[in-house]
Amino acid sequence: MSSHYTYSPVWIISENLMALDAVTLSQLIDTVKRFVQNRLVPLEAQVAREDRIPSEVVQEMKELGMFGMTIPEAFGGLGLTTFEECLVVMQLGETSPVFRSVIGTNNGIGSQGLVMDGTESQKQHYLPKMATGETIGAFALTEPDAGSDAGSLTTRAVRTGNDFILNGTKRFITNAPNAQLFTVFARTDSSLPGARGVSAFLVDADTPGIELGPPVKKMGQQGAHVCDVVFTDCLVPVTAILGGEPMLNKGFLTAMKTLDRGRLHISALSVGCAERLIRDSLNYAIERKQFSQAIAEFQLVQAMLADSRTESYAARCMVLDAAKRRDDGEAVTTLASCCKLFSTEMVGRVADRAVQIHGGAGYMEEYGIERFYRDVRLFRIYEGTSQIQQLVIAKNMIKDAS
């Protein structure tokens, strides 16, 4: 793409916070870009139709190191900073989000709790295999009666000697059907209110007492699989507490910190998808003729294109700014919510305009625009709905002011 504001190596060189040098980062972004265009884009319709990503493509993603982009180099990953991760994810967003989903949990909510709060031995044990994609991690927070109100979860972990017994149901868990490791959030102290009595556990998927529900049929993102995970008298050792005993009853903080980075990741993904939709819309508008001229010549179509370009650019700036601040050590909870709120709502509007610009073709399966329209709808829901982002932003504004 020739837009003047695509990532600038000059800007990257000026940064001191890179895990990779500027040339290596540029090469990585180029590699991902080529992989997306040459390998993934041609498979989009097939993956949606068959509801599966071909295993050889998953293997290629493993070989490219895509499962371990955010896992530290010491554990076999690429150790990308948040800023670098966002640049790469923007490239990945230029194809069906289902491809990002398969690596999403290992780079985000399935690994980052461990990266941030895990003990050294937990990291040594799990992260190298997560970095290669041999182990898929899933984030088991949501429950049938605890979605937005994550702190009200009722899955219990009761201590018996050196073990805990887990009972409860986790709902809509991304990548659960393929996972080898669950980060499970469970109530370890029912006398503490809400979020305070919750701990995180690292639970191997083959532990007795775990049952997976059937794959859930979804509105979009076919090829990404989601199901319930049911724990019935599932025995895990005390050493499974993420971060060890000092982290007992502190699991909710791990979940929230993990989501701070995850929300920036989803924001970057939204920008990538928006860029793809804008390019498709622009190409279509230039080619499609009505009233004896390209529809791109009509000002009402131009207005839609211009609004989409403006909003995507704004989201891109926000995401990269917040990512850099996070890498600088700033607390970015509010900014991550601002980014997720704006970027995911933005891509919803861009997708809606893309359908409109394509007219009847936008509604038809063959053109793939309606698929994106359905796929990006999820961004406004998972990792915290837009309404939860609004609450987080306002709550922190009020807290800061007082």
Binding site for ligand COS (CB under 6 A): 109, 139, 141-142, 148-151, 194-196, 252-253, 256-257, 259-260, 333, 382-384, 388, 392
Name the amino acid, one letter, at 112.
Q
What Cα–Cα distance (Å) separates residue 375 from each residue in 25, 28, 69, 171, 237? 28, 26, 23, 19, 39
Nearest approach in angstroms of CB 286 to ligand COS is: 38
Backbone phi and psi for residue 93, each to the nearest 5 degrees, phi listed first? -70, -10
Residue 66: which of 18, 15, 108 has the closest Cα? 108
DSSP string, 263-295: HHHHHHHHHHHHHHHHHHHHHHHHH-EETTEEG
Using the minimum distance from each CB to ligand COS, give the nearer residue, 84 or 383.
Answer: 383
Joined together, the tokens standing for residue 77 give 């990953």
Ramachandran angles phi, psi of 182, nearest 5°: -110, 135
Return the residue matching tokens 């995970």.
229
DSSP lists the bridge partners of residue 146 as: 143
Shortest Cβ distance from residue 322 to ligand COS (Å)?
13
* Token digits of residue 288: 């499609």
* E runs forming strands in 276-366: 289-290, 293-294
Q: Please report how close the Cβ of residue 247 comes to ligand COS at its closest, in angstroms.
A: 13
Residue nearer to ligand COS on the CB measure, 308 or 344: 344
Shortest distance, position 165 Cβ to ligand COS, whole Å? 24
Of 65 and 251, nearer to ligand COS (C-beta) is 251
CA distances to 127, 175, 250, 253, 301 from 123, in Å: 5, 20, 18, 18, 52
Which residue number, 76 or 213, has a Cβ lying nearer to ligand COS?
213
Catalytic residues: 383
Q: How far is the CB of 389 from ligand COS (least distance, A)?
A: 9
**Least spacing, CB of residue 288 vs ligand COS, in Å:** 38
The DSSP letter of residue 364 is S
State both tokens at 400. Answer: 């800061």
If the CB atoms of residues 251 and 368 are measured against ligand COS, the closer one turns out to be 251
